[in-house]
Amino acid sequence: MSLQILNLKEHMPTVDIALANLETEIEIAKKFNCRAIKIIHGYGSHGSGGAICIAVKRFLNRLKSQNKICEIIDGSQWTFQNDKVGKFIYSNPDWTMDEDFNRNNPGITVILL
């Protein structure tokens, strides 16, 4: 199964719109039994984490604490070396074809559903 990609920074939405889009896409992905979503949220123009990036990470942590998503993987951890990733890559080897895999990209987050 391929990795679903959600570009939250496209069209430069407000934080509220980006989070609403994220919530909707997670619900849709679950209905279609998607296993993972790569969220492109950017990292801010000053390199310290933009508003959407910060809000997305807070939102995802809340969802994880509510057991609504299984795992959160920062872009810097989207590698073979991460044990969380390894077991999913084994059953979904096509995910290694993702352009951000092993690239240490802080502008993305992958969630496992």
Domain positions in the chain = 4-112
List, edge to edge, every strand of the sheet that includes 108-112: 4-7, 36-40, 108-112, 71-74
pLDDT digits (tens, 9 = 90+) for 20-45: 999 999 999 999 999 899 999 988 65
Q: For residue 51, give the DSSP letter.
A: H
**DSSP designation for 48:** S
Write out pLDDT tens, residues 38-92: 999 988 655 555 889 999 999 999 999 999 999 999 999 999 888 888 878 888 8
Q: Which fold has domain 4-112?
A: Ribosomal Protein S8; Chain: A, domain 1 (3.30.1370)
More confident residue, 111 or 12: 111
